[in-house]
A and B are shown apart, each in its own frame.
Chain A
């Protein structure tokens, strides 16, 4: 923490591309349809007009959400037509209801007019009579007539008012019908234009996506992951030798494919994939398989889901649709291999609405009283992007790390103190609009959950609430970074961008290693530093040299996630068998043998689906299954068996998991028993059965009266086996 990398970063900021990108994101909002059409067709096809150096992948993502925006406008236009139609259709009935009311009010008004005229006449008569006579009775009659006349006047006023109201109601109905008609016409008119725009925007996106994939392949060709993997292996092996722990053998081909497919694509390989892989005798077939997996959409889906779950913690107050929107964006970014610094910058410093820039849902996910809550956002950023548990310092100086005080925590939280949500509109995804400009300075406390947080003060200052008394604050501190450096902030400003620049700078000592440790933990079931998000200064972990090596590589590659994955997965360390020997069974930290991980909800669901030969479930269908299967809590030991009784019952007894007839038929039709059994093992477990297993299964099949049913019994056993339920 001695290096003051921020000065470098601040200097770079002047012409920083990432902040320009953010600016270009900002420009996306408030665009009219016409604008979009022009923009989609002209600007995106070429270099952006502002000349910023967006990568092709960046531009592809922007293009995708631009298209999504047009799609949304189309949805709104269609809904408008539908709603207008409903109004127009209901118009005669509404008019029929309102017209008689007007008629009735008019009749009442006219009747009241008549009454008034009559009362005037009576008064006139009474007055005439009184003028002719001095009798007291005539005076009283005048008074009485006056009173009655006044009453009639009042009544007329009332009726007049009622008539006006009825007429206004009728007029409103008429107006709303006219408005519905004109809305409908406008919407109808806009749809063909939108269709064209969408088509063009989609084409632009597709073009950019293809360009991006090609660029990525070309770039990957220049990288040398194997040299890094070999260096990792040397370090790991040296340590094993030093500790006198023998390593297990390398894992067999089929099991390797199953492991890598589960880790990268979040599912087991299909029978076809297994057979083809086993058939190949290419020397680099494992590396090739990994490259292939990294180009499948399953790669983005797997890691997008993991990162989305980590960054918008479960359970959360954020609606499922909103989280899905965020997840979809992450998936897209990962599949296009946008660099990690760019992805994170968009999450932290993105502007505008979450529809066009879904990365900012990261900020929306941590709300208090429906506003982004700085301490929570900071704590989440610490965990996910820096691998640090800084949360403890929210209420008191950090108990384990002397350097981190409460002031440091709140000083960093101040960087998020100005972000606000400007209302939300319900669409297919709940959308929020973010702003850092019109923040209420006077608002001293936001109340929610019995805890109060202070509103932002000018110049990036923040007041620290008293954890023991919610109505008080302890003191006011200035914005600062983790090493105590206080940036110069404007009175009112877009502080998040400064934070994003600091965070994703190559000089930031936490950013790269946090991701290296996170990914290493994903593949090996434990981080090089454990727990993965507790890389606090005192916690060196088991293999600091491996961590620095990969950290350097990740930084120098420009935070290239797929490259980092290749470096890890190509190592012999990753390719070791999970079968322990008597000499290394006690080892849990030196990587003498591979850890065994229980499949979490998504991987288990998708693997079962592959096993029964069905297409993977869409997001809509998925939710109810995921609700049942998702019993793994964050930060639980990945080796722990977390499936409960309802899940086990589902796997054993549900009709669909008992109907793998197409897979079974393909594997067993016209095959001798032993070959059939072998194929069933390949389909479910990506390996051939052992001699013992073949013997057991064969005698089971032989003892059965119906061979076809016996095969489905065997397959049932395999997909309910412990081996199926783990990645080993």
Chain B
């Protein structure tokens, strides 16, 4: 239902509104209702290890490697000794050890793995699958931001784009979740802000009537959403990590990555459909994989395990997909980029945990069973979120697929 302030604002907008007012009451009611009725859509959190995490140092260990494999809570699955907390949650997560993507250049691979398309192909810019998914899931009828990226450290931004979609789905990139959304506080008091917004609506209305421009709707959408965010208490509260009880904060541990993981859970809880959390380290460990992969794994271990456990404890894992990924893997000693065989992880949203899909050779460098392409990988994410990956979107006069060509999603994960 409406709260009192919403009612006042709606009434004020209505008083000024003509038939095309961009503070249109119906649209507002849609927004408000969607928000008040709670989180109805599925959600996704991607944990992104930029720089290329080594499969043989994380989730696909082989004899003769640098690290010792340890047993996990899932029978038959062994992972790195430096992921001992994640090991305890392995029954919630499944591994795809047969990623075969082919692009081992950081810049282009980031784009490829975040959008599912090669950069520049078809002369189009493609949306991050987080932008596409949030568009498919909430169509902008959502009071929280549609797509947030938490980027506490290094790593590539390539692929942080709404592509051909509306800028409402462009990722909101933040370095620290606890700082909240930038510029959310009006410069003057709220009453003044509202008066200004109403006057702005009138000013724009007459311009649109005269010029009838194509950008009108998107301008209205962007301002309407931003104005609504300024009023939306949850848009502030969701970012306040200090509201979390001590035991939960302790569970995630300390550090930048821990904070962002906890923040991601809060954001999803508040209604953000898609969050990408970037690990603060850059996993590009040429020359020093043994020390480097260990350091980053240790930073990853506890927060990631806590996120899985926390989501599970709250029953949120049923409709929240968690994906662990990089832009590619590494050669056996961890020295070089390797895109022909590497590992990703999936949990939640119907994924049956404790499975291993695919198989690699004795050096984790060649896929021996069930190769998973970029299209397969992205289609799997869409499948988990209940989005039909075979559909096409109209971009200008061209129908564009959600994934690049034929895809064979990893349905085994959900069996």
A interface with B by C-beta (< 8 Å): 315-317, 389, 391, 448-450, 531, 534, 578-580, 585, 596, 598, 631, 633-637, 639-646, 648-650, 652-655, 658, 690, 692-693, 696-697, 700, 709, 713-714, 716-718, 720-723, 725-726, 728
Contact = CB atoms under 8 A, between A and B. Distances in A.
Given A644-B162, A726-B215, 5 more contacts: A449-B337, A650-B182, A721-B203, A722-B215, A723-B203
By Cβ-Cβ distance, the 7 closest A-B pairs, closest first, are A449-B105, A658-B187, A641-B215, A641-B218, A644-B170, A648-B226, A649-B183
B114 interface: no
B342 to A, nearest CB: 12
A692 B173 CA distance: 41
Contact of B103 (A316, A449, A693): A449
Contacts of A721: 200, 203-204, 207
Nearest to B225: A645
Interface stretch (B66-74, B191-199, B243-251): B191-199
B207 A722 contact: yes
Interface residues of B, number: 61
Contacts of A391: 120
A316 B208 CA distance: 37
B218 A722 contact: no
Contacts of B76: none
B172 interface: yes
B211 A317 contact: no
A616 to B, nearest CB: 21
Interface of B: 102-105, 107-109, 120, 123, 125, 145, 157-158, 161-163, 167-168, 170, 172-173, 181-188, 192-193, 195-196, 199-200, 202-204, 206-208, 210-216, 218-219, 222-223, 225-227, 229-230, 337, 339-340, 396
A639 B215 contact: yes
B142 to A, nearest CB: 12
B208 A450 contact: no
A640 B339 contact: no
A649 B145 contact: no
Contact of B229 (A631, A639, A645, A654): A645
A728 B202 contact: no
A725 B218 CA distance: 12
Given A450-B102, A644-B172, A648-B222, A653 B203 contact: no
B107 A315 contact: yes
Nearest to B201: A717
Contact of A722 (B216, B227, B339): B216
A378 to B, nearest CB: 14
Nearest to B174: A646
A645 B172 contact: yes
Nearest to A448: B105
A725 B215 CA distance: 10
- For B206, B229, B340, the residue with the greatest tally of chain A CB atoms inside 10 Å of its CB is B206
Contacts of B215: 596, 598, 639-641, 722, 726
A449 B208 contact: no
B123 A635 contact: yes
Nearest to A654: B183
A579 B167 contact: no
A580 B192 CA distance: 35
A709 B193 CA distance: 12
A450 B106 CA distance: 11
B211 A578 contact: yes
A241 B145 CA distance: 49
26 contacts: A448-B105, A449-B104, A450-B102, A578-B211, A579-B210, A579-B211, A631-B161, A635-B123, A636-B125, A640-B215, A641-B167, A643-B222, A644-B222, A645-B168, A648-B222, A648-B223, A649-B182, A649-B183, A652-B223, A653-B185, A693-B203, A693-B206, A696-B199, A696-B202, A709-B188, A723-B207
Contacts of B202: 696
Contact of A716 (B168, B173, B196): B196
A728 B212 CA distance: 11
A635 B122 CA distance: 12
Contact of A644 (B167, B182, B184, B337): B167
A448 B102 CA distance: 11
Contacts of B103: 449-450
B199 A717 contact: yes
A585 B213 CA distance: 10
Given A631-B167, A636-B125, A644-B170, A725 B186 contact: no
Contacts of B200: 716-717, 720-721
Contacts of A637: 396
Contact of A658 (B162, B168, B188): B188
